[in-house]
Amino acid sequence: MRRLTAFIMIVMTTGAIASLFGRIWYILAISAGLLGVIVSGIFGRTSFRECGLAPADIAAGLAAKKILLLAVAPLILIACEVWIGIRLFPDYINCGLSILDRQLIFRGTATLVLHILFLTIIEEVPWRCFYQLNIGQNFPGIAALILPAAGITLLTLPLYNTAASAICLLGFFVRRLIWGYLYAESGSVLIVIISHWMTTLFYLVLLVGI
């Protein structure tokens, strides 16, 4: 099981790096991660409850002020980022929409709200429930926050070409650090998914509505 876990981790890391050259490699990375979550859950290395997939943990987690603050923090940061971005860079909105488009690795026929929820789930579950957990078991805690955030951010790195895109990419990375910390503190990937989903929707509303 350890060899399989190590192999899946290597595939995810390689796929994330290769996503610089195309989204298909990122799809490979998250597919491997989802496989890792399923295999770990079935064979008992990391149970589904340990992954934080229990709905009952949502209310308990959000009852803690620290967890609630961490869950809300990305919303506040995204509002600040947009406010700064549109005042300093004329092309900020286009950069933000380009990064969102890059992140939407699949084109769905469902409503945009449900489509973003689906994509949030398939991002957070493999990177948190498998990658972050396994990194945290073998390396210092800071590595378990930085490496998943970096792996996800690599997908959008090819869009870096202006100062506005640098702001967008920095915000993209910082939000994923926060969600990693939120997962580490709450133990609930469902709380992370809710925070991520609401933040992305809020970001889209700000970009389109301004």
Q: Is the pLDDT of residue 1 over 80?
A: no
Domain count within the chain: 1
CA 201 to the chain's CA centroid: 14
* pLDDT for 113 beyond 90: no
Q: In this structure, which amino acid lies at residue 98? A: S
pLDDT at position 159, please?
78
pLDDT of residue 74: 97
What's the angle, vertex CA 116, arms to CA 149 and CA 8, rounded to 5?
A: 45
Dmax over Cα atoms in the chain, in whole Å?
A: 52
The whole-chain average pLDDT of the chain stands at 88
pLDDT for position 163: 87
pLDDT tens digits, residue range 9-24?
999 999 999 998 988 9
Structure confidence at residue 81 (pLDDT): 95
Confidence class for position 107, pLDDT limits 50, 70, 90: low
Tell me what pLDDT residue 156 has.
Answer: 84
- Residue 149 vs residue 113, higher pLDDT: 149
Contact 126, 36 (CB under 8 A): yes
To the question of pTM greater than 0.75 for the whole model, the response is: yes
- Arithmetic mean of pLDDT, 160-174: 89
Residue 114 pLDDT level (bands cut at 50, 70, 90): confident
pLDDT at residue number 105: 64
With a cut of 80, say whether residue 47 has pLDDT above it. Answer: no
Distance CA 206, CA 210 (A): 6
Binning pLDDT at 50, 70 and 90, where does residue 110 land? Answer: low
Contact present, 132 and 152 (Cβ < 8 Å): no
Where does the pLDDT of residue 120 fall: very low under 50, low under 70, confident under 90, or very high at 90 and above? very high
Q: Which domain covers residue 152, as residue numbers? A: 2-209
Cα angle 193, 197, 203; round to 5: 145
Q: How far apart are CA 19 and CA 21, in angstroms?
A: 5
Q: What is the pLDDT of residue 139?
A: 84
- The pLDDT tens digits of the residues spanning 69-102 come to 999 999 999 999 999 999 999 989 988 888 887 7
Cβ count within 10 A of residue 7: 12
Range scoring the smallest mean pLDDT among 5-9, 65-69, 155-159, 180-184? 155-159
C-alpha span between 69 and 100 (Å, rounded): 24
- State the DSSP string of 134-197: HHHHHS-HHHHHHHHHHHHHGGGGGG--SHHHHHHHHHHHHHHHHHHHHHHHH--HHHHHHHHH
Element of type H or E holding 120: helix 112-124
State the Cα–Cα distance between residues 179 and 73, nearest whole angstrom.
9
